[in-house]
Amino acid sequence: MTKPQGQDGRSKPIRLTEVGPRDGLQNESRFLPTKSKVAFIEALAATGVDEIEAGAFVSPKAVPQMSDSDEVFRLIRRAAPVVYSALVPNERGLERALAACAQKVAVFTAASETFTRKNIDATISESLRRFEPVVTRARAAGVPVRGYISTVAFCPYEGRIPPDRVVDVLQRLLDLGVDEIALGETIGRAAPPDIRRLLDAALAHLAPDRLAFHCHDTYGLGVANSLVAWHEYGLTLFDASAGGLGGCPYAPGASGNVATEDLVYAFKASGAIINVNEAQVVEAARAVAQELGHPLASRLSQVVGQAGAKPVSSL
Amino acid sequence: MTKPQGQDGRSKPIRLTEVGPRDGLQNESRFLPTKSKVAFIEALAATGVDEIEAGAFVSPKAVPQMSDSDEVFRLIRRAAPVVYSALVPNERGLERALAACAQKVAVFTAASETFTRKNIDATISESLRRFEPVVTRARAAGVPVRGYISTVAFCPYEGRIPPDRVVDVLQRLLDLGVDEIALGETIGRAAPPDIRRLLDAALAHLAPDRLAFHCHDTYGLGVANSLVAWHEYGLTLFDASAGGLGGCPYAPGASGNVATEDLVYAFKASGAIINVNEAQVVEAARAVAQELGHPLASRLSQVVGQAGAKPVSSL
């Protein structure tokens, strides 16, 4: 199944979901002021990304960094082609998201029971039951739904997660009626063979254009894994965070999601069709990093705007 | 040709050449004192790497950071299984390397005429003529010779370099009698398709076990490219620099060679046979980074020794 899908997918444009304003900022220790979040989202919209996860309608106690998502959605000037999406944990979250005119909502569970319990205080089955009315009502309102599955390869508590456990959750999310699935490689430990096993299993259940790859760059494999998902399996939906913002709650000091600018460069250099300006992404992330008071983790952020030939002995 | 080679190579152990003490340190702005270089090399030898490029017998005016290579070679306590190698630009350099008991020497040229002129003030042909007596005398002394080719995909002055220009230099180095070739992806701009085109051409001229891949991580593609070279082409010889030390003279502030610990993690997680302890590599690099006064660029250096589960909301 792999080869024809891969070759088919590679001729289609990459659709990039910028998750910096949500997955990035929610994992930063400092709260980014509402005004700065709005400026960040507006700057990202101008880079050419297809979708921006602009906030989360979750409990402000659980995730204080996202407590102003209602206001952020109200204040942003929207760019026509961009889809502004938000995380919703339950019906109350969905109501807020619909009131805020989110154009897509995302429910989230995991492939690991321990992770799900610790992350959202529910079993996987409970989380799915909770999503049922959310998906039904969102679709009735004409708002597409993404279903996130975290820990698709490794769990910080349970270790390696077999693909069949991921596929079980994936099929149940599809049965609920979600429009797309995002596979979250939460702790960044997976390598290409893990991604191949996962996608071999997942793509027996849905088409590659409904499957997003969401990875973290904790161990430096984010770009390699994303390229495998695209080149060998024809995935075209990818998540990334400007500047690699966000860190990892399971490895303090580590980098966050794969950096948007690094992934965009890698795709462009590999011949993919992608219309995102990576230099503008770096600029947008730099403004945020300055406010958060730490340097960016991405490779491109160290090169863009700083290159200059300085011929010394080198190999 | 690709598939059988790749499958053959993947069953063989990876041989890692640690180039931090040479390619890493030569590109650092601060001079690392001799004593610290010796401690660094000894710490690296204990990590399980197969080879350490421990210095360069070049002009101290051209590369002041390597001006103490004679002393470094004299002072290091050697670990039996490790091969200690050095760069030599000419016969004078070879004499110093032989006096220092270097167990392998490396000559260096490039696939770009402009780069070669700016880097070693010679045409490619002149550089090869200069190497002829070096290779002959080294081999007569029983010392194997590596031939580096820089700018195998991109040149900072000329842009994209076609594989046939690389292969032309490669064949001339083989004709001189070098034992192995190292392909230097000098400015880190290449992506997997560039590596495939390059290796498709190069492997028509020599076996994969004589071809080393030496890459820089400037644009974040070092791990992805190395995995392609191993997985698809069966290369087993890889260069890397502990901590990603070194930077890039053509992009101030950028990261240097692909980091040893990131590459080792990627190979292990991909199922390769490699006996290097990546946590020890991080420790060795940290000691140097502290003296040089800057943080390490590698992903592993942000995780190793700092991990701890801290369950907060996350995908």
Whether A114 has its CB under 8 Å from any CB of chain B: the answer is: no
DSSP A179: S
The pLDDT value given to residue A311: 36
Considering only CB atoms, A266 lies closest to which of B108, B220, B309, namely: B220
A148: closest CA of chain B, how far (Å): 8
CA distances for A97 relative to A101, A103, A145, A182, angstroms = 6, 9, 12, 19
Strand ranges (E), chain A:
15-18, 51-56, 83-87, 104-110, 145-150, 154-155, 159-160, 180-185, 211-215, 237-240
- Cα–Cα dist A303/B269, whole Å: 28
- Cα–Cα dist A219/A222, whole Å: 8
The pLDDT value given to residue A306: 67
Average pLDDT score over residue span A140-160:
97
Through-space distance between the first and last CA atoms of chain B, rounded to whole angstroms: 41
pLDDT of A309 strictly over 50: no
A124-140 vs A113-120: helix crossing angle, rounded to 10: 60
- Cα–Cα dist B231/B209, whole Å: 14
Say yes or no for a CB contact (<8 Å) between A306 and B271: no
Q: Phi/psi at B5 (nearest 5 deg)?
A: -60, -45
**Which of A160-174, A232-246, B173-187, B249-263 shows the lowest mean pLDDT across its residues?**
B249-263
CA distances for B251 relative to A251, A280, A301, B20, B176, angstroms = 29, 18, 11, 18, 33
Average pLDDT score over residue span B231-258:
87
In the three-class reduction of DSSP (H, G, I as helix; E, B as strand; rest coil), residue A180 is classed as strand
Q: Which ranges of chain B does DSSP label H, i.e. alpha helix?
A: 2-9, 25-26, 34-45, 69-75, 91-99, 113-120, 124-140, 163-176, 192-202, 222-231, 260-269, 278-292
**Which of A24-28, A191-195, B110-114, B136-140 shows the lowest mean pLDDT across its residues?**
A24-28
CA angle A259, A264, A268 (to 5 degrees): 155
DSSP A310: -
Per residue in A3-53, pLDDT (tens digit) is 445 666 778 999 999 999 999 999 998 999 999 999 999 999 999 999 999
> Given the structure tokens 């204990």, which residue do they identify?
B46
Amino acid at B154: F
Q: Are A194 and A153 in contact (CB under 8 A)?
A: yes
Residues from chain A that touch B314, judged by Cβ atoms under 8 A, are 23, 26-27, 119, 150, 186, 248-250
When pLDDT is cut at 50, 70 and 90, the band that residue B124 belongs to is very high
Residues from chain B that touch A118, judged by Cβ atoms under 8 A, are 311
A155 closest CA partner among A120, A124, A116? A116
Q: Which residue has the higher pLDDT, B250 or B127?
A: B127
Average pLDDT score over residue span A302-306:
83
Sign of the torsion formed by the C-alpha atoms of B3, B5, B6 and B8: positive
CA distances for A239 relative to A17, A151, A183, A222, B98, angstroms = 5, 15, 10, 11, 53
- Cα–Cα dist B301/B175, whole Å: 41
Q: Are A198 and A152 in contact (CB under 8 A)?
A: yes
Amino acid at B109: T
Residues from chain B that touch A314, judged by Cβ atoms under 8 A, are 26-27, 119, 150, 186, 248-250
pLDDT of B314 strictly over 60: no
Nearby residues of A98 by Cβ (< 8 Å), 6 or more positions away:
A138, A141, A143
pLDDT of B21 strictly over 80: yes
Average pLDDT score over residue span B187-203:
97
Provide the chain A residues 23-82 that lie in CB contact (below 8 A) with chain B. Answer: 23, 26-27, 58, 62-63
Say yes or no for a CB contact (<8 Å) between B307 and A186: no
A202 closest CA partner among A225, A233, A159, A156? A233
Nearby residues of B88 by Cβ (< 8 Å), 6 or more positions away:
B56, B57, B58, B94, B96, B97, B105, B106, B107, B134, B138
Nearby residues of B129 by Cβ (< 8 Å), 6 or more positions away:
none
The pLDDT value given to residue B1: 38
Whether A105 has its CB under 8 Å from any CB of chain B: the answer is: no
Q: What does R_g of chain B's alpha carbons equal in angstroms?
A: 18
Residue B219 tokens, joined: 């644009």
Residues from chain A that touch B300, judged by Cβ atoms under 8 A, are 219-220
pLDDT of A179 strictly over 80: yes
When pLDDT is cut at 50, 70 and 90, the band that residue A2 belongs to is very low
Q: Are A21 and A41 in contact (CB under 8 A)?
A: yes
Mean pLDDT of chain A: 93
Whether A122 has its CB under 8 Å from any CB of chain B: the answer is: no
Q: Which ranges of A142-275 does DSSP label H, i.e. alpha helix?
A: 163-176, 192-202, 222-231, 260-269
Per residue in A89-145, pLDDT (tens digit) is 999 999 999 999 999 999 999 999 999 999 889 999 999 999 999 999 999 999 999
Average pLDDT score over residue span B81-93:
97
Percentage of chain A with pLDDT > 90? 86
Say yes or no for a CB contact (<8 Å) between B227 and A120: no
The pLDDT value given to residue B255: 73
Say yes or no for a CB contact (<8 Å) between B314 and A249: yes
Through-space distance between the first and last CA atoms of chain A, rounded to whole angstroms: 41
A222-231 vs A2-9: helix crossing angle, rounded to 10: 100
The pLDDT value given to residue B234: 97
Say yes or no for a CB contact (<8 Å) between B269 and A219: yes
pLDDT of A253 strictly over 80: no
Percentage of chain B with pLDDT > 90? 86
Active site residues per annotation of A? 248
Q: Are A82 and A90 in contact (CB under 8 A)?
A: no
pLDDT of B237 strictly over 60: yes
Residue A141 tokens, joined: 């309102």
The pLDDT value given to residue B304: 87
CA distances for A188 relative to A221, B131, B288, angstroms = 7, 45, 27
Q: Are A141 and A150 in contact (CB under 8 A)?
A: no
pLDDT of B170 strictly over 90: yes
The pLDDT value given to residue B180: 98
Average pLDDT score over residue span A278-306:
93
pLDDT of A189 strictly over 50: yes
Q: Are B268 and B230 in contact (CB under 8 A)?
A: no
The pLDDT value given to residue A10: 79
Average pLDDT score over residue span A198-208:
98
The pLDDT value given to residue A255: 73
Q: What is the dihedral of CA B170, B174, B179, B182, to 10 degrees?
A: 0
Question: CB atoms < 10 A from the CB of A77, how many?
Answer: 8
Per residue in B30-65, pLDDT (tens digit) is 999 999 999 999 999 999 999 999 999 999 998 999
- Cα–Cα dist B123/B116, whole Å: 6
Question: CB atoms < 10 A from the CB of B1, how many?
Answer: 11
pTM of the model: 0.94
Question: CB atoms < 10 A from the CB of B81, how many?
Answer: 10
Q: Phi/psi at B87 (nearest 5 deg)?
A: -80, 135
Whether B17 has its CB under 8 Å from any CB of chain A: the answer is: no
Q: Beta B154-155 vs B159-160: how paired, if at all?
A: antiparallel
In the three-class reduction of DSSP (H, G, I as helix; E, B as strand; rest coil), residue A122 is classed as coil
